[in-house]
């Protein structure tokens, strides 16, 4: 065997040896830096749906690690804090359980636990209360309350008025049910219980005695207070007279009507008449006692 062949074999053995040693060192080397995550803490999380007014049971909740900086204030951190307390609103799986979502510890079962401090639960005890939405309203929905009152036909109202009495009220219960029924073929409602302030309860009580209450269902994201005015029966009849019955009448412009008369100073001897034609207004100057 030549010296060149021996050198090639030795180089190959040396390379293999260095490779084995390198791989072994890489496998046994400990990482220089350790990845550290955010500090975690234990919190109570809902594991199965809890209906409003239901008592929390241990199998409905669980403890989970949660990033400490992302835990809202008053979140429960032990199972014992939640078990036996009543849910003030429906709770869904994966939801953090907080004090504000549960009735006070030791509170007895009942709808009173669902009424926040300073509020009242007031029932409208008439089927006509929900006639305007015909059973579409459910517990948790928000509605406006409309009051309709009849009056003598000879007065300025023409026989009655309708006004939005209260706005954006939450429905606590329907027919003594705190939750929406899974299957309901009968839309008839007998009672609607609303969450109101004491003054609003007084208004509802007086409204029930004075006339008929009905409900207008709101979009759940609509919290704006609408600018409303009472509507009289005389106004409704007047609007009916203005409604076009044919296309020709719809396109026909109304005759000018005198809306107001303004008299210029006497030395000018000129009067101006403001006219209305549909939505358009104008001013006509008339010379009094002058010559053309």
Residue 2 lies in a domain: yes
Q: pLDDT tens, 49-58?
A: 988 878 899 9
Check the CA dihedral 164-165-170-174 and report its sign. Answer: negative
Q: Residue 248 above 50 pLDDT?
A: no
- Domain C-terminal end among 52, 82, 114: 114
Q: pLDDT tens, 4-28?
A: 667 677 777 777 776 777 767 766 6
- Please state the rounded mean pLDDT for residues 218-234: 87
Q: How far is CA 49 from CA 45, 52, 96, 111, in A?
A: 11, 10, 12, 19
Strands 270-277 and 257-263: antiparallel
Q: Higher-confidence residue: 279 or 7?
A: 7
- Domain C-terminal end among 55, 81, 114: 114
Residue 243 lies in a domain: no
Residue 193 lies in a domain: yes
List beta partners, residue 167: none
- Domain match, 108 and 130 both: no
Residue 241 lies in a domain: no
Report the residue count for the chain: 292
- Domain match, 83 and 138 both: no
Residue 242 lies in a domain: no
- Domain match, 132 and 108 both: no
DSSP assignment, residue 177? B
pTM, to two decimals:
0.54
Residue 35 lies in a domain: no
Q: Quote the number of domains for the chain.
A: 4
Radius of gyration (C-alpha) of the chain in whole angstroms: 38
List beta partners, residue 70: none
Enclosing domain of residue 107: 40-114
- Domain C-terminal end among 114, 131, 160: 114
- Domain match, 91 and 173 both: no
- Domain match, 13 and 80 both: no
Sheet of 280-287, strands arranged across? 257-263, 270-277, 280-287
CATH number at residue 67: 3.90.1210.10
Residue 247 lies in a domain: no
- Domain match, 199 and 292 both: no
């Amino acid at each position: 065997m030549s010296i060149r062949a021996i050198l090639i074999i030795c180089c190959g053995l040396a390379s293999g040896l260095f490779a084995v040693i390198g791989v072994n060192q890489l496998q046994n080397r400990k990482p220089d830096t350790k990845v550290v995550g955010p500090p975690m803490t234990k919190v109570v999380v809902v594991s199965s749906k809890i209906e409003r007014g239901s008592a929390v049971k241990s199998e409905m909740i669980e403890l989970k690690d949660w990033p400490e900086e992302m835990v809202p204030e008053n979140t429960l951190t032990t199972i014992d804090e939640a078990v036996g307390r009543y849910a003030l609103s429906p709770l869904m799986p994966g939801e953090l359980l907080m004090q504000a979502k549960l009735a006070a510890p030791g509170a007895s079962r009942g709808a009173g636990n669902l009424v926040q401090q300073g509020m009242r639960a007031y029932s409208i005890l008439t089927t006509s209360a929900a006639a305007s939405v015909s059973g579409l309203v459910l517990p948790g929905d928000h509605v406006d309350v409309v009051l309709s009152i009849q009056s003598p036909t000879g007065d300025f109202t023409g026989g009655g008025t309708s006004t939005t009495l209260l706005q954006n009220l939450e429905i606590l219960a329907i027919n003594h049910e705190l939750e929406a029924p899974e299957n309901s073929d009968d839309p008839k409602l007998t009672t609607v219980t609303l969450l109101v302030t004491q003054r609003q309860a007084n208004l509802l009580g007086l409204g029930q005695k004075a006339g008929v209450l009905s409900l207008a269902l709101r979009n759940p994201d609509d919290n704006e207070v609408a600018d409303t005015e009472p509507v009289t029966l005389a106004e409704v009849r007047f609007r009916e007279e203005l409604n076009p019955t044919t296309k020709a009448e719809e396109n026909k412009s109304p005759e000018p009507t005198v809306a107001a008369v303004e008299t210029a100073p006497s030395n000018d001897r000129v009067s101006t008449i403001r006219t209305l034609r549909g939505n358009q207004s104008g001013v006509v100057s008339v010379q009094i006692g002058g010559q053309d």
